[in-house]
Amino acid sequence: MSDDKPLRRSKEEQTADISEAQIAVHWPEEDYFSPSAKFIAQANLTDAGVFERFSLDRFPECFREFADLLDWNQRWEKTLDTSNPPFWRWFVGGKLNACFNCIDRHLARHKNKTAIHFVPEPENETVHHITYQELFVRVNEFAALLRDFCGLKTGDRVTLHLPMVAELPITMLACARLGVIHSQVFSGFSGKACADRAVDSESRVLITMDAYYRVGKLLDHKEKADIAVAEAAKEGHKVHKVLIWQRYPGKHSSPTKLVEGRDVIVNDLLKKYRGKRVEPAPLPAEAPLFLMYTSGTTGKPKGCQHSIGGYLAYVTWTSKYIQDIHPEDVYWCMADIGWITGHSYIVYGPLALGASSVVYEGVPTHPDAGRPWRIAEDLDVNIFHTSPTAIRALRRDGPDEPAKYHHHFKHMTTVGEPIEPVVWKWYHKMVGKGEAVIVDTWWQTENGGFLCSTVPAIHKMKPGSAGPGIPGIHPVIYDDEGKELPAGSGKAGNICIRNPWPGSFQTIWKDADRYVNQYYARYCKDRKSKDWRDWPYMAGDGAVQAADGYYRILGRIDDVINVAGHRLGTKEIESAALIVAEVAEAAVVPVADPIKGKVPDLYVSLKPGLKASKEIAGKVSAAIVSEIGAIARPREVVIVPDMPKTRSGKIMRRVLAAISNRQDPGDVSTLANPEVVDKIKELVK
Ligand code: PRX
């Protein structure tokens, strides 16, 4: 980064001593790559006039174009209601159903078309091609079960802890049909993490699967449901029912016993609902569609609440024009539906457009790094979407693999972390065979869909840069004093969005104050103002804008670590470490990693009289895995004699991060205990 000063916050606000943005790499400006004439000739959006159409003078009415891609039971009266900032209400008065828009409306013309290709991880298992008609039947029957057996109704929350199987979108869409708010928890998260989310959302029903494949092993997943229910009970919350899908219908694949009166095998019970149909409920545009929990600056994950109308309109428009999805395309987003990317760009966006969407159960490099290219060749996938972490792993394990297969992508996406130009170029040349356009899409769980990206047939691509704001999104970079940093200033600052947009989350579930304070308070010009211009949205990322208007995202400026494109809160990890009885203090720092982008290193000090040992380090690591999940497992647990501290007793994470990243910790003479720095350096060596 050219200047780290603007990223530094005032003393009171400063919670982390080092941010991801501050350890961001220095990438040189790259040359442009142009989209091919062949791509442009077929693209959904080629008219550069779109930016005029979505200029700020036309805000908010320009977004009607987004909502017009959907079928409405009742048209909206007001495009945007700003009477209670920053709680924006989109398409007020409108009524629609998300499930109807993703399934029913395609039946007349496309009922025989594949909606979901489910690809099991074991390569000898057949791929399931679920047509729109079959999806319609399965979603209806399951919706009937949710309504009649579970008693679920519009507005209730249900927690899903499902792996990457077709039953996950089926469950989500069945909820959407009824107006039940789904809250899917990433299957790799622990039972405890699932419990915390079920408690916060007050879900009485938990939907899971007995087992799923990961790296060649059939994992027992049902055991996590037992832990989740027990942990929720400890927090005073009762989960009444656990619905269990079977990975192999008719066979129970988990050694964990069923709990009588609580656990139900969905595949058995569904027989009672054969042939049942459920009318899609016409719901207000601003009713919630789902919650997606994400890490923030405090210990507790926050439930981002997304709406039906604004969200669905946003992901549908961006799927059509940024992903360039046509109804005849086979589209594969290799993310997990347990994250926002999968919600928006495996399920809701592609299905709203009537495309065929691939759901792959396993890891990309299993059994070898040629797997994704075999899947793409067999299914004739022509749009591919993944993360820099996956691209780095595929490049490391099989740099020449893509050349062995006859797949042809017209379009590829990268999302979730900054991508190194050298990795981008491999993706373009080898995976895309020099033919595919690439969009580097920057956005967040909170945003619903893409914020910055090139429009693939209009802009040139620049490796390592996300690009300008998409049509209708007007980003701005502010320094700490709230001064705008113009394009080409060479200075990094805090990226914000000037205007509301339909895909944005509506609030944090049960925590409206946190919604206002975390995203809007910092740069709000007047807390009493009803004018949206006074309420820029602060993303929490450091960024620079080049003279050509392209934004390059540097990383988080707060206490969040982005591991392999997944957000983890430092407080969450530290409080998990503190559960171990021997631990006195814990501090986690982000470390640059060649595959995962960033990984956490954990420093702990022990209670007086205790000696460092491998056992204690192992216990700390295990505590983090059981509290959060394997994704948060630290690269190293370093047991230090003492934490480097300021004279006022604050742990200097900046010093620890510098040591972990092999950087110079700078002047440490003002610390209360400068001598400890060399001792820690010695330990880390
Ligand atoms: O730091 C940014 C990074 O991922 C964060 C959002 O993470 P999450 O809410 O889990 O959503 C990930 C998928 C949308 C952001 O604050 N990030 C996301 N996309 C990019 C990125 N960093 C650089 N380039 C991107 N394209």
SS3 106: helix
Instruction: Give the three-class secondary structure for 603.
Output: strand
Distance between Cα 565 and ligand 1 center (Å): 6
Q: Is the pLDDT of residue 296 over 80?
A: no
Give residue 540's region: left, alpha or beta (phi > 0; psi -120 to 50): left
Q: How far is residue 598's CA from residue 600's CA, in Å, rounded to a whole number? A: 7
The residue assigned the tokens 């997944």 is 566
pLDDT interval class at 4 (50, 70, 90): very low
pLDDT tens, position by position, 601-627: 999 999 999 999 999 999 999 999 999
- Which of 20, 292, 314, 417 to probe ligand 1 with, by most ligand atoms within 8 A of CB? 417
431 beta partners: none
Name residue 386's beta-bridge partners: 414
Peptide bond into 608 cis (omega under 30): no
Per-residue 3-state assignment (H helix, E strand, C coil) for 308-343: CHHHHHHHHHHHHHCCCCCCCCEEEECCCCCCHHHH
pLDDT of residue 646 exceeding 90, the answer is no
Ligand 1 atom with the shortest distance to the CA of 566: 10
Find the 443 Cα to ligand 1 centroid distance in Å: 5
Q: Which residue, by CA, sits nearest to atom 1 of ligand 1?
A: 555
Confidence of residue 650 (pLDDT cuts 50, 70, 90): confident
- 29: DSSP letter: P
Residue of minimum CA distance from atom 8 in ligand 1: 444
pLDDT of residue 20: 73
Instruction: Measure Cα distances from 156 to 152, 159, 199, 671 in Å.
Output: 6, 10, 13, 52
What is the best residue among 444, 445, 450, 494 to mutate for testing ligand 1's pocket, by most ligand atoms within 8 Å of CB? Answer: 444
pLDDT higher than 60, residue 6? no
Three-state DSSP at 76 gives coil
Res 667: pLDDT: 87
Q: What is the pLDDT of residue 21?
A: 73
| Type of residue found at 146 | L
Q: Residue 252 in contact with residue 246, Cβ under 8 Å?
A: yes
Closest CA to 54 of 490, 469, 549, 673: 469
Show the tokens assigned to 283.
Answer: 């719901």
Dihedral in degrees, nearest 10, Cα atoms 634, 637, 638, 639: 140
Tell whether the model's pLDDT for residue 113 goes beyond 60: yes
At 508, is the secondary structure helix, strand, or coil? strand
Q: Is the peptide bond before 600 cis (omega within 30 degrees of 0)?
A: no
Ligand 1 binding pocket mutation candidate from 553, 554, 557, 631 (most atoms within 8 A of CB): 553
- The reported pLDDT for the residue numbered 8 is 41
The predicted structure's pLDDT at residue 7: 41
Out of 337, 340, 442, mutate this one to test ligand 1's pocket (max ligand atoms within 8 Å of CB): namely 442
**Ligand 1 atom at minimal distance to the Cα of residue 553:** 23
Nearest CA to ligand 1 atom 24: 418
Task: Supply the pLDDT for residue 23.
Answer: 67
Residue 323 has pLDDT above 60, yes or no: yes
What average pLDDT does the segment 19-42 reach?
85
Nearest CA to ligand 1 atom 25: 442
Rounded alpha-carbon distances, angstroms, from residue 220 to 214, 224, 246, 323, 563: 10, 8, 11, 35, 25
C-beta separation of 29 from 490 below 8 A: no
Label residues 658-671 b or e (16+ Cβ within 10 Å = b): bbbbeeebeebeeb
Backbone torsions φ then ψ of 108, nearest 5 degrees: -55, -40
Q: Where are the alpha helices (DSSP H) in 93-244?
A: 98-99, 105-110, 132-148, 167-178, 191-201, 222-234
Would the pLDDT of 15 be above 70?
A: no
Q: How far, in Å, from the CA of 262 to the mean position of ligand 1?
A: 38
Closest CA to 324 of 168, 446, 441, 444: 441
Q: What is the pLDDT of residue 1?
A: 32
Q: How far is the CA of 680 from the centre of ligand 1 (A)?
A: 32
Q: Concatenated DSSP letters for 245-298? A: E-SBTTB---SSPPPTTTEEEHHHHGGGGTT---PPP-EETTSEEEEEEE--SS
End-to-end CA separation in angstroms for the chain: 26
Mean pLDDT, rounded, for 318-347: 97
Which ligand 1 atom is the nearest neighbour of the CA of 445? 9
- Please state the atom number of ligand 1 nearest to the C-alpha of residue 414: 26
* Minimum CA distance residue for ligand 1 atom 18: 416
Long-range contacts of 226-230 (CB under 8 A, 24+ apart): 226/191, 226/256, 226/259, 227/190, 227/191, 227/192, 227/194, 227/195, 228/159, 228/161, 228/191, 228/192, 228/194, 228/195, 228/198, 229/195, 229/259, 229/262, 230/191, 230/195
Which residue is closest in CA terms to ligand 1's atom 12?
416
Mean pLDDT value across residues 212-219: 97
Q: Whose CA is nearest to atom 14 of ligand 1?
A: 444
Best residue among 454, 494, 562, 572 to mutate for probing ligand 1's pocket (most ligand atoms within 8 Å of CB) is 562
Token couple for 79: 């495009």
- Counting atoms of ligand 1 from 1, which one is nearest the CA of 20? 1
CA of 415 to the centre of ligand 1 (A): 7
Check residue 9 and give its pLDDT: 40
Q: In the predicted model, what is the mean pLDDT of residues 177-184? A: 98
Q: What is the pLDDT, as a whole number, of residue 32?
A: 98
Rounded distance from Cα 118 to ligand 1 centre (Å)? 26
Half-sphere exposure of 339 (CA within 13 A, CB side): 21
Mean pLDDT of the region 183-202: 97
- Calculate what percentage of the chain has a pLDDT beyond 90: 89
How many whole angstroms from 404 Cα to the centroid of ligand 1?
31
Which burial class, exposed, middle or buried, applies to 483 when counting CB atoms under 10 A from its CB (0-12, 13-18, 19+)?
exposed
Radius of gyration for the alpha carbons in the chain, expressed in angstroms and rounded: 24
The C-alpha atoms of residue 363 and residue 448 are separated, in whole angstroms, by 25
Residue 443 alpha carbon, nearest atom of ligand 1: 14
What's the whole-number average pLDDT of the chain?
A: 94
What dihedral do alpha carbons 365, 370, 372, 376 form, nearest 10°? -170
What CA–CA distance (Å, rounded) separates 540 from 514?
A: 14
- Token pair in block for residue 536: 């820029």
Ligand 1 centre to CA of 554 (Å) is 10
Q: Ligand 1: residues within 6 Å at CB?
A: 294, 339-341, 415-418, 440-445, 466, 539-541, 553, 555-556, 562, 565-567
Q: How far is the CA of 542 from the centre of ligand 1 (A)?
A: 11
- Summarize pLDDT for 252-265 with one digit per residue, the tens: 999 999 999 999 99
Atom 7 in ligand 1: which residue has the minimum CA distance? 444
Residue 652 main-chain phi, psi, to 5 deg: -90, 90
Between the CA of 557 and the centroid of ligand 1 the distance, in Å, is 12
* 472: three-class secondary structure by DSSP: coil
CA angle 458, 462, 463 (to 5 degrees): 140
CB 560 within 8 A of CB 16: no
Phi, psi of 314, rounded to the nearest 5 degrees:
-70, -45
pLDDT of residue 14: 40
Distance 325 CA to ligand 1 centre (A): 22
Residue 298 has pLDDT above 90, yes or no: no
Specify the pLDDT at position 649.
83
* pLDDT digit string, tens, across residues 337-351: 999 999 999 999 999
- The CA–CA distances, whole Å, from 448 to 307, 349, 471 equal 9, 11, 15
> How many Cα atoms are found within 13 Å in the side-chain-facing hemisphere of 311?
31
Listing DSSP states for 187-208 in one string gives TTB-HHHHHHHHHHHT-SEEEE
Alpha carbon 179 to chain centroid, angstroms: 22
Ligand 1, closest atom to CA 446? Answer: 9
